[in-house]
Structure 1
Amino acid sequence: MEEIIKSSAVIKRRTKSYHANAMSTVSYSILLTVLGLASLLCVLPLILVISVSFSDESHILRDGYQFIPEVFSVDAYRFLVDDLDKITTGYGISILVTVVGTFLSLLVTSLFAYPVSRPDFPYRNQLSFIVFFTMLFGGGLVPWYLLYTQAGLKNTLFALIIPHLVVPFNVIIMRIFFTNTIPHALIESAKIDGAGELRIYGKIILPLSLPVLATVGLFQMLSYWNDWYTSLIFINNPQLVSLQYLLYKVISDLNYINSGAASIQAVNAIQKTLPSETAKMAMAVIGIGPIILVYPFLQKYLVKGLTVGSVKG
């Protein structure tokens, strides 16, 4: 009798385990399907942009956008090659501003976020409030413009770097990471061993903060790379404008021509050699190229940086 009871209990446990595994498999399949569809929806616009950039302009105007080019053409890229010097210069400015700006932004942001994350820092609450206050209120466009121009930053690369140097949201992310992830006892142990504040920051804090540094660095990289507004406001020298501003300018010129505001003779003369829609897509492909190449290398750090420190252990 006891053997029968034991056997039935084993069968029940196995049945429950089987149903749990089956439910887990179904849930995993549903989740995988949903994420796959979401990923496909993110990739399809990029495929469409690339396809249109290699399409013939006349067929695009007649039949609309298509995922598979009806007539393959590289006229849009030939049109852009005519301004290769401007594009190359814009690429150089964008890469320089992105690299230098991201590095300086990570340095300044971490130097600010680390002290306010320390419980023994006397003014941590006041400084944290100032950071939070700037997220709610701003000085406005006119004071912002006057401040930079009167400081002599107009038509300089510093005008493209400094406006995005410190982002309050990134400071808060770093502060939370430092507070919840790096034990204060580790810092105290380093002090007992004779390490100074700069050595603790450089030898202990930064090596342990690679996930959040990569996350904030990616945010800043995208911000600097996609920025065209500061070039529009502060830069008059065509040798100092960014690639994204050139993209904005091309799109604005094409929209102006297509709107009919220009004279009929000028429009007819330009449209004979101007691939309007395909040129826009070709510029978009050229503009997003470097970010697509960099993102896969930072993806694992991005996920970890957004999750580590979100729950205090």
Structure 2
Amino acid sequence: MNPHKAMRLRPTLTIGKLVIHISFILLCAVCVFPFLVIIGTSFQTENDIIKFGYSMIPKNFTLDAYKVILREPTVLLNSYLVTIGTTIIGSLIGMWVTTTYAYAISRKDYSYRTFLAFFIFFTMLFHGGMVPSYILMVKWLGLRNNILALILPYLISGWFVLLMKGFLQTIPDAIIESAKMDGAGELRIFTQIVLQISKPALATLGLFFALQYWNDWWLTLLYMDQNNLMKLQYLLIRVLKNMEYLNSSEAIQYGLVKPGMQVPSLSARMAMCILAAGPMLLVFPLFQKYFVQGLTVGSVKG
């Protein structure tokens, strides 16, 4: 290849592109900076926080906050297990329910597609409310202090269904017709063809479900009285709600501290934030390459 031609093919850095790059770099720095401050503060001593304030770089590095939280980790580990269990089970079942529903209303040869599409769209406009939902879950289904109460309410969402429907409509009908001519049934077409093609959309949908279940604390507040069914985010809220929570008798009850222990309450709150948000920060990069593709592939068709 002609070197002069290769040089002409190289993208040129214009002033406009440079401004855009600098703007996005600054935006990313603004978004990342608070999280770095939280990480740095979690390793500070209590006296340094009071004297110098929150800092990204601790003056005196210490693990006291993590030692306090993990000294009696029974409740924390149990909250992790409940949160991880509900996230995995809820996300998998929710992806299956959402994808099957979206696949049905995306098929032009399905007789009830219009009614089902309007039905799911109607739920986005009107919601039953907290009181009817509570009566349904507690009185009718009897799911008070039941792990299913943390899974069932989020299994399907109108927006998730329409998002998945937009992607499934991009699948050519000829692929499905060819599979039928080869003798494949509807279940085989869906599991071996549709789901295989829909991996980018499924990755995006799975990430949305995982974030929804992981960050949920509302269902725990409504339906759970037992400490062994407390989700991680609800435990975090209990810690963050009161600045002196870790010095209270309630912290001793939950096994976070021992009686008479001096607790670094300010840094412990930051440490709890890291322990609660850390797993999702590690999971997101695994789905990042599918995330934008899954959002934009179905945007041409509604």
Q: Shorter-chain-normalised TM-score: which range? A: 0.7 to 0.9
58-67 or 83-92, which moves further after superposition?
Answer: 58-67
In the alignment, structure 1 residue 144 sits paired with structure 2 residue 126 = no
Relative distance call for 1:257 and 1:209 in structure 2 (3 A) is closer
> Which residue of structure 2 lines up, in the alignment, with residue 127 of structure 1?
116
1:174 aligns with 2:164: yes
How far the C-alpha of 1:76 sits from its partner, in A, is 1.3
Partner of 1:267: none
Q: Which of 273, 284, 288 does residue 295 from structure 1 map onto?
A: 284
What is residue 47 of structure 1 aligned with on the other side? 36
Structure-1 separation of matches of 2:54 and 2:167: 45
Q: Paired residue for 2:253?
A: none
Q: Distance in 1 between matches of 2:269 and 2:153?
A: 28
Name the SS of the counterpart of 1:309 in structure 2: helix
Q: Partner letter of residue 17 of structure 2?
A: Y
The answer for unaligned runs of 5 or more in structure 2 is 248-258
Q: Does 2:279 correspond to 1:286?
A: no
Alignment coverage as a number of residue pairs: 285
Write out aligned runs for 1:67-216 (5 A). Answer: 67-150=56-139, 151-179=141-169, 181-216=170-205
Q: Aligned in 2, Cα 1:203/1:116: closer, same or farther, shift over 3 Å?
A: same
Residue of 228, 239, 262 corresponding to 1:239: 228
Q: Partners in 2 of 1:255 and 1:275 — Cα distance?
A: 10
Identity %: 43
Over 4 Å off, 4+ runs: 255-258
Could you say what the CA RMSD is over the residues aligned between the two structures, in angstroms? 2.4
Offset of 1:311 from its aligned partner?
Answer: 2.1
Rounded to whole Å, the distance in 2 between the matches of 1:198 and 1:28 is 49
* Matched AA of 2:272: M
Q: Amino acid of the residue matched to residue 223 of structure 2?
A: F
Residue type matched to 1:176 in 2?
G
Change in 2 beyond 3 A, CA 1:37/1:237: same
CA distance in 2, matches of 1:255, 1:132: 45
Does the CA-based 8 Å contact 2:245-2:265 persist in structure 1? no
The alpha-carbon deviation at position 42 of structure 1 amounts to 1.7
- Residue in structure 2 matched with residue 222 of structure 1 by the alignment: 211
Q: TM-score, normalized by length of structure 1?
A: 0.85
2:131 corresponds to which letter in structure 1? Answer: V
Give 3-state SS (helix, strand or coil) of 2:298's partner.
coil
- Could you tell me how far 1:73 is from its partner in structure 2? 2.2
Q: Does 1:65 align with 2:58?
A: no
2:295 matched to 1:306? yes
Q: Report the equivalent of 2:16.
A: 27
Unaligned runs of 5+ in 1: 1-13, 259-269
Please identify the structure whose Cα radius of gyration is greater. Answer: 1
